[in-house]
């Protein structure tokens, strides 16, 4: 079977690299953007996650290709559509893993350990844990937390407990919203791409999403007003970024519940002008207040 470069690139899901932006949280809130060595280290750590996460996506698509063929959207993925062979996918995954681990090792032993833990956790997830209700979403959230730790502990930036809690709640929110969108496809007569979806229900997911959304607002708001934040950032004005967080959450809920989005958070962010502008405004305002 001949190699299709575009199909191989699509199999790596480069648009999902946006999720690795979580690696930059520590750089952003740790006032380290002026330290050249730290910035380079964080960039390399983010690249390491890009390649290793792509390797995991390939493994997931390889194991899920039969189920993906039953999904209205996922059936167009390169492996499910037959544009990439299983052998080619295995080689691509191995190459991405090697490159990712080399990049991680070039930053620090801590980043290497974190990236290896991320890879092993996701392999176990693909093998067994993705079928365990609720735990499946917590595993996804743990992957994001490891990204944050790589960009903080891995490069010598002390992480904020409030930001870690906020990050956990945000990723749980996105994870349960993703499950809700996938379950909605079944409710509309589609086939279940994941067996674990049969253990969820829309009312249950709506409750979990609501709890996580409320937790995000509470944790982030408390972070903006905490004594630790005032001591580090020397400003009481971060509280003014909370309305943007609220709007972003409400917009995402609207897209998930009313428009049936939410299956792919990275794509949803890039495709929705409201979400994109809100995130950019939040980032710009926060950077201005911290500068």
Which one has a higher pLDDT value, 117 or 264? Answer: 117
- For residue 232, the model assigns a pLDDT of 84
pLDDT band at 192 (very low <50, low <70, confident <90, very high): low
- For residue 27, the model assigns a pLDDT of 87
Token code pair at residue 191:
């086939």
Burial of 67 (0-12, 13-18, 19+ CB in 10 A): middle
Region 113-120: mean pLDDT is 95
Q: How many CA atoms within 13 Å lie on the side-chain side of 282? A: 19
- For residue 190, the model assigns a pLDDT of 53
Region 152-170: mean pLDDT is 90
Region 246-275: mean pLDDT is 86
pTM of the predicted model as reported, rounded to 2 decimal places: 0.86
Contact 151, 46 (CB under 8 A): yes
* Domain boundaries along the sequence of the chain: 1-159, 160-291
pLDDT band at 258 (very low <50, low <70, confident <90, very high): confident
Which one has a higher pLDDT value, 130 or 143? Answer: 143
Please say if the pLDDT value at position 229 is more than 80. Answer: yes
C-alpha to C-alpha distance for 208 and 253, rounded to whole angstroms: 12
Smallest CA-to-CA distance from 22 within 178, 134, 142 is with 142
Contact 196, 130 (CB under 8 A): yes
Which one has a higher pLDDT value, 250 or 6? Answer: 250
pLDDT band at 147 (very low <50, low <70, confident <90, very high): very high
Q: What is the mean pLDDT of the chain?
A: 88
C-alpha to C-alpha distance for 22 and 19, rounded to whole angstroms: 6
Region 144-153: mean pLDDT is 93
Which one has a higher pLDDT value, 103 or 75? Answer: 103
CA-based R_g, the chain, Å: 19
pLDDT band at 1 (very low <50, low <70, confident <90, very high): low
Contact 285, 248 (CB under 8 A): no
Q: Does domain 1-159 have CATH number 3.40.50.720?
A: no
C-alpha to C-alpha distance for 35 and 78, rounded to whole angstroms: 41
């Amino acid at each position: 079977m001949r190699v299709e470069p575009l199909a191989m690139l699509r199999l790596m899901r480069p648009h999902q690299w946006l999720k690795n932006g979580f690696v930059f949280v520590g750089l952003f809130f740790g006032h380290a953007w002026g330290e050249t060595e730290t910035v380079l280290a964080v960039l390399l750590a983010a690249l390491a996650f890009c390649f290793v996460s792509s390797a995991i996506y390939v493994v997931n698509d390889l194991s899920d290709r039969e189920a993906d063929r039953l999904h209205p959207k996922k059936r167009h993925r390169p492996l499910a559509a037959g544009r990439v062979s299983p052998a080619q996918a295995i080689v691509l995954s191995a190459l991405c893993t090697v490159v990712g681990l080399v990049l991680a090792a070039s930053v620090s032993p801590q980043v290497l350990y974190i990236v290896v833990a991320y890879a092993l956790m996701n392999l176990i997830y693909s093998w067994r844990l993705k079928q365990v209700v609720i735990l499946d979403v917590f595993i996804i959230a743990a992957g994001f937390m490891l990204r944050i730790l790589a960009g903080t502990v891995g490069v010598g930036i002390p992480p904020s407990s409030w930001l870690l809690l906020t990050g956990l709640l945000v990723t749980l929110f996105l994870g349960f919203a993703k499950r809700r969108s996938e379950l909605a496809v079944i409710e509309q007569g589609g086939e279940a791409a994941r067996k674990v979806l049969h253990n969820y229900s829309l009312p249950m997911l709506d409750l979990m999403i609501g709890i996580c959304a409320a937790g995000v607002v509470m944790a982030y708001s408390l972070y903006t007003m905490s004594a630790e934040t005032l001591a580090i950032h020397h400003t009481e004005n971060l509280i003014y970024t909370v309305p943007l967080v609220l709007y972003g959450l409400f917009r995402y809920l609207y897209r998930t519940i009313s428009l049936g989005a939410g299956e792919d958070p990275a794509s949803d962010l890039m495709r929705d002008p409201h979400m994109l502008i809100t995130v950019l405004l939040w980032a710009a305002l926060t950077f201005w207040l911290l500068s």
